[in-house]
Amino acid sequence: MNENYQTNTAELNLDSFVDEVRSLLQRQRMVEGLVTKQAGPKQEVLEMLTYRQHLAEMQNRLASRHPADIAFVLESLPMEDRTRIWDQVWKIRGGAILLELSDNVRKGILESIPRDELIAVLKQVSIDDLSTLAPSTPRDVLEEVYQSLDSQSQQWVVSSIAYPDDSVGQLVSHHFVTTRMDRKLEEVLIELRGKDLPPHLDSLYIVDARHVFLGVLPVEHLISKDPSTEVQEVMNSSPVVLSPYQKATDAAKAFERYNLLSAPVVDERNRLVGRVTVETVIDFLRKQADEDALKLAGLQGEEDIFASIWASARNRWFWLGLNLVTAFIASRVIGIFETTIIKLAALATLMPIVASIGGNTGNQTVALIIRGLTLDRISRNNIFYLFLKEIRVSSLNGLVWGGLMGLLTMILYQNFSLGLVMAAAMFLNLLVAALVGVGVPLLLDRLGYDPAQGSSVLLTFSTDSMGFFIFLGLASIFIL
């Protein structure tokens, strides 16, 4: 429902809006500075008026915008400016804006606003949205807002919070419209006339007297079919139906696969619980894609650009520390061969190439396997095939690139056996990369861990240690 807000072609890109708010903030700050410096009473009144005028201008600019735009501006500003903007918008649309913010920024704002203000804001939002905000809200505030709800809403909030994390239950909205099988379309139309319909209503849900779900009536049918038709003649009695306990990712995949705009959610006794809409699914997919990208890079979670140094450092420490441990162990492998290296320093020069090519090619394999797992393309039927394929690709690469590098080494160091060892080590380390690259994500997935989170560190550990070991080991046997 963007109809009340200004959103037009020119502003798909919000940069200019952010710039505008930023310069308004700057002017405000300048005027404030003047007010405190200049003490003359006449001057003071004048400045006060200018200040008020600036404030009004800002409020005007913000009032016309969609809550998502204001959330975007908040995310693009440092904490201090966020508070300034928030102070001017929370009374009317604080709840809607909170919902559009990313988790970390929302948390920051929730922590900075007074208790009463927070309660007022939470009372603005629908109970669907209250469930969304609940996890980041202090317990006592939530309690107070909860007490102000009627008992049906209370029950709704409790049940939606109770569903497991990342389940369909977390995405359910209770804005839906039901009707009965034996109604005529014209009767349904009369019933709906003048009602405040849920946004993006693409279908009505058909239930019986005990609220058991029977099917779906697409809204188009209300418009295009003969009004004297009965609902049961045109209804779809086998649509995609979700359970609140299903994984949200599975539901999202169904939305993508079958181009759904919404799907009914029913409990174990087939009674209608609610409705999941495509907007919620898009938000869920976006959040998941963001998290995956950051996890792969070894970050624990979303990081607010304007987070404190301390918070940012902590977000990166776990994987950094783990990486340090694995790098240390890999380095101990080299330590074993220190006497060999003293005899032929070229080994120290060449060994990072062997490790690096293994890490690079292994990470390609990891990315493909993780993607295959995400898209459900990998099952016990093709695991063997996958191993075989990656080993073959790696062998081909080992022959081509290992051979090339071996040749280059021979020429560069005028040492035939060093070249052979280089070629053999690269070939073997590429095989290690293939086996670990397929095996580690599959193993993590089987053990119930997220393969995106740890695969890359484990892979690099293996290709580094094994790369050093194979290369230095072969060298100490065949060259020295």
Using the rule CB under 8 A, give the single segment among 49-57, 87-95, 125-133, 253-261 that binds a copy of itself.
253-261
Residue of 434, 455, 432, 460 lying closest to 445 (CA atoms): 455
- Asked if 59 is part of the footprint of a copy of itself (rule: CB under 8 A), the reply reads no
Least Å from the CB of residue 231 to a copy of itself: 14
- Asked if 294 is part of the footprint of a copy of itself (rule: CB under 8 A), the reply reads yes
Among 65, 66, 106, 275, binds a copy of itself (CB under 8 A): 66
Which one, 368 or 431, has the nearer CB to a copy of itself?
Answer: 368
Least Å from the CB of residue 371 to a copy of itself: 6
Which one, 31 or 426, has the nearer CB to a copy of itself?
Answer: 426
Among 75, 81, 128, 445, binds a copy of itself (CB under 8 A): 75
Among 342, 407, 411, 477, binds a copy of itself (CB under 8 A): 342
Least Å from the CB of residue 261 to a copy of itself: 6
Residues in region 177-206 near a copy of itself by CB under 8 A: 189, 192-197, 199-202
Among 379, 384, 446, 448, binds a copy of itself (CB under 8 A): 379
Among 141, 161, 285, 443, binds a copy of itself (CB under 8 A): 285
- Asked if 446 is part of the footprint of a copy of itself (rule: CB under 8 A), the reply reads no
Count of positions on this chain that bind a copy of itself (CB under 8 A) = 142
- Asked if 212 is part of the footprint of a copy of itself (rule: CB under 8 A), the reply reads no
Least Å from the CB of residue 26 to a copy of itself: 11
Write the interaction track for a copy of itself spanning residues 113-152; mark x where CB under 8 A is met and - where it is not.
----------------------------------------
β-pairing, 203-207 with 178-179? parallel
Among 313, 407, 411, 480, binds a copy of itself (CB under 8 A): 313
